[in-house]
Each structure stands twice: as C-alpha cells, then as structure tokens.
C-alpha cells in the first residue's frame, strides 16, 4: 500500500516513538491523525491531533468519527501507544510491597493491550463496513518472549502478538492485514526512565550491534509492513539481534 493521500491513524502519536512515525508518514504524503491521551505542543500543524482515552470504547468512537469526518476512509492504523513497566513478581527486599502490585498490572495491561484491542476493533469495523482494504500495525516488543522483571509488560505484548495473528486470519478475507512490530530497546526517554543506566549499558553490550535502536529505524519497519501487501499475521523483530 502506498500511503500517499491515505488517511492514517497513529494511536500514541505524541510519544517519542509515535512522533517519529508521524513525521515519517507526513514525509511520504499521508494524511495523519494522531490520537493520544495527551496532546503534544510539538505535533506538526498538518496533523489532526486529537485527545482520547484509548482504552475507552465510547471515547475512541467519538474520536474516530472526527477523523472520518475530516479525512474519510481510514487506510492504516498504527497502535504504538503504551508504557514500559518493570516490576518483579516477588521482591523479598521490599517489605512494603513484596508482590507485583495489581494496580500496576491493570495499568500496563490497559495501556498496552486493551487500548490496542479497543482502537483496532473500531477501525476494523470501519474498514469492513466501508469495504476498504487496510492494514493494522500493532506494537509488540522483544519482551513478549518473557523478560524477567516485566511480568505485566511481557504479558501485554504477548497478547498483542496473539491478537495480531487472530485478526490476520479473521480479517484477511476482507482485505485487511494485521502485522506486529517487535522492537528491541529503543533510544527514547521512556526507555531511559524505565531502566537504570547500568541495565541499559548491559543491554547494549549483549546486543550484537552494540547499541539501542533509533526511532527512525522502527518507523522504517512500519513502512515495510504497510507497503508489502503480502505480509500479514506475523511479527517483525527489530531488535539488533538481541535475544532475551
């Protein structure tokens, strides 16, 4: 699919990774709508920037209605909203909170898995009822394989990959593809905030390319998934060779 003049929704477009994807889409001539829980002052004026709770069904419905009203049929959805969270299942050194907090579990699952489900279900319905070919790009992570210290995050990303496979089979006959992108560790402020410097240094050492990914390299993988019309139901790893 060529994104020129196509309507593309980026869920989480205000984040460090999302904004890189939004910028790359604009360069290729797409009409971009960025939906996020917060608006960003740095969002380009040519982008339709909307605020919504991405895990709230009615809020998302109202927001997508605004996108369709301005841009018409949606051709591409990129689900890159979410948060990274590290917390062990059991921590005997913390007498106040030894077990993984249910509040953080719920928050991580809601942000990374529920939001992707809610937005994708509505966009898929729109594509199907308007008889439009399209593609849904979900963001997984190398952590989907099971990263120690990230129970909730790993579970959410494994769920994203499972949903992607299901949707590819369900929606393929309708001309709608579903692809997941699984980055390794990306040089973004959220990565820096989630991991101590020593852990990041160790990750770089264990990665064959000896560095973190650039946001632009992840955006490039997104375009590969969009532009190749015979890719669906798979997860594309962009991890620099790192195996957790």
153 is catalytic: yes
Q: Is the dihedral of CA 180, 79, 229, 224 positive or negative?
A: negative
User: Which listed residue (71, 117, 153, 167) is catalytic?
Assistant: 153
Cβ proximity of 187 and 213 under 8 Å: yes
Cβ proximity of 233 and 169 under 8 Å: yes
**β-pairing verdict for 7-11 and 48-51:** unpaired
The token pair at 176 is 């709608």
The token pair at 195 is 């991991």
Strand order in the sheet with 74-79: 48-51, 31-36, 7-11, 74-79, 134-139, 176-183, 235-238
Alpha carbons 166 and 181: distance in angstroms, whole number: 15
Alpha carbons 35 and 60: distance in angstroms, whole number: 9
Alpha carbons 32 and 67: distance in angstroms, whole number: 9
Active site (catalytic) residues = 153
């Amino acid at each position: 699919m060529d994104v020129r003049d196509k309507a593309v929704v980026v869920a989480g477009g205000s984040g460090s990774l999302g904004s890189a994807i939004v910028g790359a889409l604009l360069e290729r001539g797409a009409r971009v709508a960025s939906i996020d829980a917060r608006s960003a002052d740095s969002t380009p004026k040519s982008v339709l920037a909307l605020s919504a709770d991405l895990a709230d069904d009615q809020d998302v419905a109202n927001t997508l209605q605004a996108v369709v009203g301005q841009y018409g049929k949606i051709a591409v959805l990129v689900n890159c909203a979410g948060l990274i969270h590290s917390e062990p299942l059991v921590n005997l050194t913390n007498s106040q909170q030894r077990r993984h907090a249910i509040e953080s579990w719920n928050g991580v699952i809601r942000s990374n898995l529920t939001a992707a489900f809610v937005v994708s279900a509505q966009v898929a319905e729109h594509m199907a009822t308007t008889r439009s070919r399209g593609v849904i790009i979900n963001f997984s992570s190398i952590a989907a394989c099971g990263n120690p210290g990230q129970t909730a995050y790993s579970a959410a990303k494994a769920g994203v990959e499972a949903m992607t496979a299901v949707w590819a089979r369900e929606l393929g006959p309708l001309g709608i593809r579903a692809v997941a992108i699984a980055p390794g560790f990306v040089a973004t402020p959220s990565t820096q905030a989630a991991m101590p410097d020593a852990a990041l240094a160790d990750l770089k050492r264990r990665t064959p390319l000896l560095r973190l990914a650039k946001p632009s390299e992840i955006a490039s993988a997104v375009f590969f998934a969009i532009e190749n019309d015979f890719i669906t139901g798979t997860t594309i790893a962009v991890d620099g060779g790192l195996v957790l």
